[in-house]
Amino acid sequence: MSKRSVFVVGSRGQLGRDLMTALVNDFDLAGADLPEIDITNADSTADVIRPHNPDVIVNSAAFTDVDACETEHTAARAVNVDGPRNLADLAQAIDATLIHVSTDYVFDGQRQIPEPYRESDTPDPRTSYGHTKREGERAALAASDRVVIARAAWLYGFYGNNFIKTMLRLALEDSSRTLKVVDDQHGCPTWSGRLAEQIAALVTDGNSGIYHAVGEGHCSWYTFAGAFLELMRVEHDIAPCTTAEYPRPAPRPANSILMNERLSEEGINKMRPWRDDLELFVRLHRDALMQEAGKALARG
């Protein structure tokens, strides 16, 4: 029996590279990223993907700069709304399934902590980023009846830039400097490697609809940063602060806690406690992370 074929959009991004690793052994795999594919253009999308005739398209591409979305509305909508619509239209045309990665920002983030958001809860985004991601979900679901939405949150991994890499670089730059980290926003740290494994399970199962896929449990950014730096065995001095002390152009949700309800109910939950995944991530990548941070500091 031939393997099912999967095409990964955004294959060189943080999640995309982990997807290429997680899927390579069990599927006929192909992928593309900018500049060879432009998902905001339907013709470009079809020209790149159609020749592979995939059974499943996984979209890990997005305009994820939350603050930039507040001003760059056209670009954000093109990538986060038109992109998934074009991919879903193509998936419908070639009889493929689309797995589209979304975000906790589709919710208002105002729920009392630690009450989580479930797949059945009504989205109510409060930022331009959240609005475009929610519209992208709806556009994809409307275009095809074979769409899986996988909502993630607080994503980190070995590739690309992310919160914990920033914390590492700042701690190494000056371990005596007190780093203030927000302690009144709570969410679910999610390792991109584990999310890639979960998406592989969704590819295999062939389900549809909305799923939450995040690290189990929750914490604040302050707790997350402290746990990571301790595991990395890096001298550091961090102190908790409030969201009000660290204003940003786009408001951050106080509660980004998602529950993996559907994955658990259907017996396909591959996600693990966030601390366990963080420990494994550090065991696998500590030396390389230290080298990368050292090079970044040397470059200034």
Give catalytic residue positions.
129
Residue 229, amino acid: L
Closest CA to 9 of 53, 61, 56, 84: 61
Tokens describing residue 96 = 């493929």
Q: Is 116 helix (H, G, I), strand (E, B) or coil?
A: coil
Whether 232 and 290 have beta carbons less than 8 Å apart is answered as yes
Structure tokens that stand for 89 in this block: 């239209």
Nearest CA-CA partner of 119 in 264, 274, 250:
264
Residue 191, amino acid: W
Q: Where are the alpha helices (DSSP H) in the chain?
A: 14-23, 42-49, 73-77, 83-93, 128-143, 163-173, 192-205, 221-231, 261-265, 274-299
Contact 76, 132 (CB under 8 A): yes
Q: CB-hemisphere CA count at 13 Å for 229?
A: 23
